[in-house]
Chain A
């Protein structure tokens, strides 16, 4: 199978000469969930945010190397286009407070100035909300503001908003760390369902979460990719000593 995403010698630095992500080369395959783990400050969020060019928003951050999405280097594409192809879900649920639930789902379209017919809108909203299992809960309160929902519902709304753009890859930066266990559970189940259609990369602090949902795992330490492989294998027989130490709680 061909990888959907290839990272080649990817480095990211906040201050010149000091790489927060250091020379990472690896492949990610379609319809898998990849968990990125590692201690705080190891560069896992920085790596994730490089993939959809979020670093472009901050001029002092430098990204070098290549990120190939289906063979095309995203670092050379138009950043707005990249972000439509590579969706992102954040740690804190961030629905747009001035928009209704309905408009939140369609925010990607309205923000890009794409006009849709009423019927298309209804269809996208219903389909996106159904795919995050939120439709039944909100179908009668569509005109309420996004901030009216609970934290877990808000996060699923944010996932729906991203899915509405039909991205190739879904990036998630600790998507459940601000949520209670029940909401976390729902999101995890959701991810297992979503990987049938999308490729998901999720940064997580929670090792058991990585073990539960991911097919492959990446372990990062001090900006370097230490190990990347099958999750079950990595959790039972890690190849690298530092991976083993991290997973067994010696440090982290």
Chain B
């Protein structure tokens, strides 16, 4: 028996894990910038020493974040298929010295190392970036982005408005999910069936769910716009913040640590170590 709540709880967009940790307190700009640097760094490695360093670094950061490891793994489920596909293609389609051959398929030495490095890279990528959303509230995240992209205002990009839209959208995800859950249950109580039948029947079964959901979304949007206008909201011009983002000593230290990691692991990751090279580069 699957009920609405259990069906929807696997979605992890903008999932935030409440905890008291250094990583939670750090400035969101550091976390966004840091994640970006970390992700780019992952693409420079040519040997497994680099990956080892990245794993070590990630383990340290996860430790600091106090978020249980199973929350990171949850994000992995969504890319499991992609991961397997990558492994298959890399294993069989990389030219090089064959290790095992059967029929027309050859598993090459180069393919094996390439597949392993791809899995490592993707896993590190997903866990690393989900760590950012797990330790930063959506509001903090958009705040940081607004500040980081502030320079675009010079080119007449409405940075504030976009950031506001994003934070409202993120804010509404849990509300709309709850609403969906509620309407789904209400229609199920009237005998609606969302789970059986062919594709066409299922799509048709969504009408009693989607119509009320849209009606309520529009009603909520209307109410929110009214409430914002009643409090004199008129865009970002001259608007001040209750909690302006300000770099602390720990934020500079975090940047320093990140830089050391990036520089160090790229240097080590590009050393020529014959036994530990990835793929075709030896």
Partners in one complex: no
- B: residues with CB less than 8 A from A are none
